[in-house]
Amino acid sequence: MDIKISEEVANLLKDNGLKAEEMEKVIKDAEESGKKLESKDGSKCLAKAEDDNLTCYALYSASNGGFSLDSGYAHKMKMVGPTGGEFNVEAADEADWICKKCNENAIEANVDMTYLGVTRPGNAIVCPKCGDMYLGEDMVPTIKGAEGILEEKRG
Amino acid sequence: MPAEDFAPINSEWLEKAGNLWTTPFVDKPSERVIVDPILLSHAAALFKKTPKYFWENPDEAARMVCQACELYDITPVGHYLWADYWGQDYGAEIKIQETSPPAITKYPIKEPEDIDKFEVKSPEELKEGPTFKDHFKALDTVLEEYPQMFAPITQLAGPMEVATNWAGIEDVFMWMITEPEIVDKLIGKATEHMVNACKVTAEKYGANVMITGSVVASGDLLEREQIKRFSYEPQCKAVKNVLKAGAGPGVYYHLCGNHTNSFDLWKDAPMSPFTVVQVGNDGKDVFPSGKLVEHFGDRCTCFGVVDTKLIDRGTPRQVYDQTAEQLQAGKDSPRGFIIGSSCECPTYAPPANVHAMVKAAKDYGKYEKF
């Protein structure tokens, strides 16, 4: 699979402590499984890989028969489920994304996030059908800020 | 009063109070629930100063608030703000009053036609405006002189509150009936302003707390659908955009007044890991902590309240009893609990009543969950 990573994006990955190979694997797995978000205009995809300590995201687009990585980011807070026990789909705003696996419009909703034994809410992009949860890139500074405070107070 | 006129803050107290304040947000065990009576000009009264003096001197105001925190043994954070923020930046005239907070006397929007022409200030313009000039003077004082009591806030209020600081409340309420679409437009501009204002605080201080909520838009004045349309939904949009702009991570939803008909809407409001929800009244009664925890306890930190009128006019025993009752119903809320007043502590509330809240927290606010 041909995945292009510009110098600018490579530097961003370095700043975020991510490796190109990790991002390539995220994209490859998403393309094989179909488990990803696609922007409503079809121009971008967002895929993720989770382990116990980190959730990594690849924001990418199709390019000359292959793919181009547009951004990569990660967070340590682990998303565990809907805040309050269930998503209120009726009250939620529609996100600019579609869950490719379910072909369902994603919504913006609060999800519980756990880190260092503390569980609190965060606003995420969610598929109301399969319940898959993603953190939008623009919410990363908020979550990183929260992680920093938790590390200072709980670490 | 310059900095040298104040006695130094006791470092042992500060450390202990800091731990109490941290618990509701990070679940780090401490002894008891912290008390936050939302002190502003009440602090001035403790130093024999007037509200006028308080709001005309943001640096001294911040010092007095910090000192009052130690005096009462309450949330160790320096604040300075008032309800009618942001009017002046857009041409409103305000009157600094002797015995109450500053009030707007002339609004920049007088007719519905003015709304189309009304331009929202950019973050750069707001940064140089009168509201931030005073706000930052106070916050910088806390940062320099009381760094451990520094938690920068942006006083956003809600879109309806910002809108009614640009146009008279009676006009906005009339337009809600006669020309609701024009109010949507006004509220849209207030929402845009809120995002720009928060960007300024985030850029200057980094991590911060946005105070938002619904004060004018309460159940005594508006129907649920009106609150939803003109307050809740635009506010959600603003908070999301504020968080996306890098502000936060603190979000404080201050639902002042009677919110029986609408408080549940906020269960789905956008939240960050450090979100607090406070609801003032349930009809004519203080909002029960048990009800607050039932609806919000599995979502965010709950701010239980003691009736501001009671703090102002009640006896210490009445304040003590209500605080104890609210504490017992809320103190072990799963995501943290704070006890405080339902709105700003009245300027001339008896100090014995504020002390009664703290005394009740010491007697009834001990955590059982840790």
Please name which of A48, A16, A75 lies closest in space to residue A133, comparing C-alpha atoms: A48
pLDDT for A128 equals 96
Task: Output the pTM of the full model.
Answer: 0.97
Q: Nearest CB to B244: which of A93, A138, A146? A: A138
- Measured between beta carbons, the chain B residues lying within 8 angstroms of A77 are 273
Q: Which of A123, A150, A152 is the mutation pick for testing B, counting most B CBs within 10 A?
A: A123
B262 contacts in chain A (CB < 8 Å): none
pLDDT value for B77? 97
**For residue A126, what pLDDT band results from cuts at 50, 70 and 90?**
very high
Of B22, B248, B300, nearest to A153 by CB-CB distance is: B22
- DSSP, collapsed to helix, strand or coil, labels residue B118 as coil
DSSP, residue by residue, B348-359:
T--HHHHHHHHH
C-alpha–C-alpha distance, residues B50 and B347, integer Å: 9
Are the C-beta atoms of B163 and B190 separated by less than 8 Å?
yes
Residues in chain A closer than 8 A to B198 (CB atoms) = none
Walk along chain B (370 residues) in steps of 10 and give the mean pLDDT of each run. Answer: 95 98 97 97 97 97 98 97 94 94 96 97 98 97 98 91 96 96 98 95 92 93 96 96 90 96 97 98 97 98 98 98 98 98 97 98 97
Q: Enumerate the β-bridge partners of residue B209.
A: B153, B250
Pick among B267, B272, B369 to test the A interface (most A CBs inside 10 A): B272
Whether the predicted pLDDT of A155 surpasses 80: no
A120 and B300 within 8 Å at the Cβ level: the answer is yes
3-state SS class at A73: strand
Does residue A136 sit at the B interface (CB-CB below 8 Å)?
A: yes
Contact B338, B33 (CB under 8 A): yes
- In this prediction, residue B207 carries a pLDDT of 86
Nearest to B299 among A84, A136, A148 (CB): A84
Q: How long is chain A?
A: 155
Write the CA distances from B261 to A51, B217, B255, B268, B282, integer angstroms: 43, 11, 12, 15, 9
What 3-state DSSP class applies to B96?
coil
Closest-CA residue of A relative to B236 is: A93
pLDDT, residue B155, reads: 86
Across the interface, whether the CB atoms of A120 and B28 are under 8 A apart is answered no
Q: Do B273 and A150 make contact, defined as CB atoms within 8 angstroms?
A: yes
Q: Who among A77, A84, A139 is closest to B243 (CB)?
A: A139
What digits encode the pLDDT tens for the residues A59-85?
Answer: 999 998 999 999 999 999 999 999 999
Closest Cα partner for B160 from B226, B68, B243, B223? B226
CB atoms A123 and B271 under 8 Å = yes
Confidence of residue A108 (pLDDT cuts 50, 70, 90): very high
Q: Does A110 contact B270 at a Cβ distance shorter than 8 Å?
A: yes
Task: Judge whether A149 is closer than 8 Å to chain B, CB to CB.
Answer: yes
State the complex-level ipTM.
0.95
User: Which of A142, A151, A152, A154 is the best residue to mutate to test the B interface, defined by the most B CB atoms within 10 Å of its own CB?
Assistant: A142
pLDDT of residue A81: 97
Picking from A118, A136, A114, A117, the residue whose alpha carbon sits closest to that of residue A126 is: A136
The phi, psi pair for A23, rounded to 5°, reads -65, -40
Interface check A143 vs B, CB under 8 A? yes
Q: B275 and A88 in contact by Cβ < 8 A?
A: no
3-state secondary structure of B279: strand
Report the pLDDT value the prediction gives residue A64, as an integer from 0 to 100. Answer: 87
Distance CA B329, CA B198 (A): 34
pLDDT at A138: 95
Q: DSSP letters of B293-326? A: HHHHTTTSEEEEEE-HHHHHHS-HHHHHHHHHHH
Interchain proximity A145–B270, CB inside 8 Å: no
